[in-house]
Amino acid sequence: MPSMFSRRLTGPACAAFALTLLASCQTSRPPAPTASSAALPTMERVALGANSCWFKSGDAAFKNYRLAPELNSFSGRPRILIVPRKSPEARPLAVIQAEGQPARLQAFGPLMSEPVATRMSADIRRWAAGGQGCN
């Protein structure tokens, strides 16, 4: 017959053993990367910045163009297109896209060979990094 002292130890000892066993079954996972560096949130920031600074501001360098965001991408590459204002169905003049975690950005197309490309690239990098505002 167990003594009163051994019954008191059995409950806490059993609980400690169960917790140790449970902890040993859990796998250690690396911390989840922050969502803000993923492709979609990065491209959302770029799209908001481009729309605000290049198009809604009335910037003369972009008056002949229109923004066409394609952020809902099943390919894992959300992107925005810059297309001719009067022909939005035409081939894009610039494509800005991102993929991966952290996001890897690409910008290409005929507009990226024009003088405005230097400014566009600087703006895109700034917005992708979390910066705001227009230069």
Please give the pLDDT value at position 76. 84
Report the distance separating Cα 84 and Cα 75, nearest Å. Answer: 25
> 18-52, pLDDT tens digit by residue?
444 444 445 455 555 444 889 999 999 999 999 99
* pLDDT for res 111: 97
Judge whether 133 lies within some domain: no
Q: How far is CA 20 from CA 6, 27, 28, 102, in A?
A: 21, 13, 15, 36
- Residue range(s) defining the domain that contains residue 42: 35-128
Q: How many CA atoms, within 13 angstroms, populate the side-chain half-sphere of residue 63?
A: 4
Residue 77 forms part of a structural domain? yes
Assigned domain for 79 exists: yes
Radius of gyration of the chain (CA): 27
- The tokens for 106 are 């690409």
Asked if the structure places residue 24 within a domain, the reply is no
Q: Which residues of the chain have pLDDT under 70?
A: 1-35
Q: Where on the phi/psi map is residue 100: left (φ > 0), alpha (ψ -120 to 50), or beta?
A: left
> How many distinct structural domains can be found in the chain?
1
